[in-house]
Amino acid sequence: MDIAELTTLLTPAGLQLVDEVGALSSTAEVARAVSRLRAAGHSPELVSAVVSQASLRVRARAKFGEFADRMLFSRAGLEQATRLSVAARHAGRFRAAGIRRVADLGCGIGGDALGMAALGLEVSAVDADEVTAAIAAFNLAPFGESVTVAHGRAEDADPGAADAVWLDPARRSAGHGETVRVRAADYSPPLPWAWEQLRARPGGMKLGPAFDRDELPHDVEAQWVSADGSTIELVAWSGALARPGVRRAALVTRGDDAWELTAAADAADEPVRELGAFVHEPDGAVIRARLIGDVARALSAGMLAPAIAYLTGDAALTSPFVSSFRVRETLPFETRALAKALRARGIGTLEIKKRGVDVDPAALRTKLGLRGDAAATLLLTRIGARRLAVLADRV
């Protein structure tokens, strides 16, 4: 989306047309909508903008729920936006710390500011991209004067009376469509400047979950966040927003539920042990936070192999921080023998998970020629040089 397309869309007629078109979930629906709108005499520019928004709103429901139907998006902006349930948790931390005014320095399409404003915080937001700032202004307009949005660089913004800052440096190349990841040295605003803001006043900075841990200042709280099984972000918290004694945290969310594991430092791993009655796969946030050892001790489990994030033990325990599997047996780690064993057991539905081995689960599933009514999980890993195939049932 460019500024001309957005200007075409941001009219009463354009916005009404987006609402009238409704959800467009398939290529066929998009094609029919384009034909219908062109036949009604609408300009190609308006038709393109309306159809694009109708399609993006469908995709946005995964992050914004029913609010997506009242918002505008760019493709890149939606991809990089914080989902509303997670933004609400960020906002809750600001409010619990007594923060009332937040400077959102790099607001994107307004996902985090939306969570803050919904909890009654005042937000002054800025984004370096003109189109993105305009979209954010539209999305945040229902909150009236409690939220302001400006077009400009974060580095040039004056936090003024803000009690805290929120930063979300652009980690992808500029643009509103397909973008590519850039090196940390090329983030915008630059990371050295962003860390300075967190030293100057309380704040939080959203980073990618794979951000180099060695680049984290020693005095911030690093919180990795997962949502519905995917590790989505790392947030560095500073000042009053960093909890005393907490330097590592793993926040695991599923729908509206959330669980958190915190520690003063990385947790020491438990020793390696023989395959037991259960295998546990830690959530990605737990792995990134390096708190696997704490989870293992809570489950009376140990490492299945060095440097591989599978735990094993005999205790019939599980937790929100792992996916647990009851071991049936080990099978040959060779495609033909494996296929024969699975067919003999009537397994036609197979979940394939892997760690530490170079296997393409989709390609392997095709080669296995599965048949039968039974279901199971196949865990593929290695212990030293030995490859291991474990047939199990998800707990």
- CATH dotted code for 82-263: 3.40.50.150
Residue 177: what pLDDT?
A: 59
Backbone phi and psi for residue 208, each to the nearest 5 degrees, phi listed first: -70, 150
**302-305 and 308-313 beta bridge pairing:** antiparallel
Residue 258: what pLDDT?
A: 96
Closest to 253 in 3D by CA, of 241, 235, 268, 278: 235
Q: How far apart are CA 26 and CA 29, in angstroms?
A: 5
- Determine the longest span between alpha carbons in the chain, in angstroms: 71
Instruction: Please say whether the beta carbons of 252 and 321 come within 8 A.
Output: yes
**248-254 and 101-105 beta bridge pairing:** unpaired
Q: Is the peptide bond before 192 cis (omega within 30 degrees of 0)?
A: no
Q: How far apart are CA 33 and CA 54, in angstroms?
A: 10
What are the domain boundaries of the chain?
Answer: 3-73, 82-263, 278-394
Rounded-to-10 torsion of CA 212, 215, 218, 222:
-40
Q: Could you tell me how far CA 210 lies from the centroid of its own chain?
A: 12
Q: How far apart are CA 266 and CA 246, in angstroms?
A: 10
Backbone phi and psi for residue 104, each to the nearest 5 degrees, phi listed first: -95, 100
Residue 173: what pLDDT?
A: 61
Task: For 238-276, write each residue's pLDDT tens digit.
Answer: 999 999 999 999 999 998 899 999 999 999 999 999 999
Residue 178: what pLDDT?
A: 62
Extended beta strands in the chain, E state: 101-105, 122-127, 147-151, 164-167, 203-207, 221-227, 230-238, 248-254, 257-263, 278-282, 302-305, 308-313, 322-331, 347-354, 374-383, 386-394
Q: What is the model's pTM?
A: 0.91
Instruction: Please say whether the beta carbons of 23 and 55 come within 8 A.
Output: no
Q: Which residue numbers in the chain have pLDDT < 50? A: none
